[in-house]
Amino acid sequence: MINVLIVEDDPMVAQLNKNYIEQIDGFTLSGIAANTDEAIEHMAKMELDLMLLDVYLPGLNGIDFLTRIREQNQDIDVILITAASDIHQIQQSLRLGAVDYLIKPFEFERFKKSLTQYKNSHYKITDIDKVNQHEIDRLLRKPSTRAEGAKRQGLPKGLTKNTLDTINNVILTKERDPFSTDEIAEAAQISRVSVRKYLKFLSDIEYLEETLIYGVGRPIYQYKLNESMRDRIDHYL
């Protein structure tokens, strides 16, 4: 679970954000702080992954607090929330490593998109000494060059729309559960070699999240539907 701290001086807004978090899988609320002093106290006691930080706070403002967090090398990701849309402020926050910037008032869907994208990039690479460019792009939430290239060119040679549709229908039955090539091949009644090509393509366009699992025997690829990229497949069906 991703531990979240809300730093917000308006009780109503803090409660709204709390309600939003509780509707999104994979996140747990660590606490609510009304100012940066309370946030510092909470950070000293609890291990945090993500902070929802309001810019306008009594005492130290959010931008200055984020600056302090970075100067102290605190390993906490930050999504800034503010009623202002000052471009200089946004640029400054992004330079300080804010993973997103939400402008009040925002709808739940925008909030959910922000946290879902963060969750998709928040994974630890284990048992792997090196990462490739695609994995780095996923971590940074940037479309990979392979994804962009595939989107421009359409389906790769040898792949068909009908087979893609069949495989996708099986994938959708998995919902949020991870799956392997063999599982899809058996359910779709399509050869494992063919299914592997389609899953690789769907991973390239970031419709699927691809993870290499190490265990007994040879490593295997495991896949999972990327909730924030569901529309990536629409172009091909």
The CA-atom distances, in angstroms, between 58 and each of 18, 31, 37, 54 are: 20, 18, 10, 10
Same domain? 25 vs 107: yes
Which CATH number do you get for residue 7?
3.40.50.2300
Residue 210 counted as domain residue: yes
C-alpha distances in Å from residue 165, one per residue of 153, 226, 236: 18, 17, 9
Domain final position from 121, 143, 171 = 121
The reply to whether the predicted model has a pTM over 0.85 is no
Q: Are residues 141 and 110 in the same domain?
A: no
> Where in the sequence is the domain holding 69, given as residue range(s)?
2-121
For 105-160, the pLDDT digits (tens) are: 888 989 998 998 888 776 543 334 455 555 555 555 554 444 455 454 678 888 99
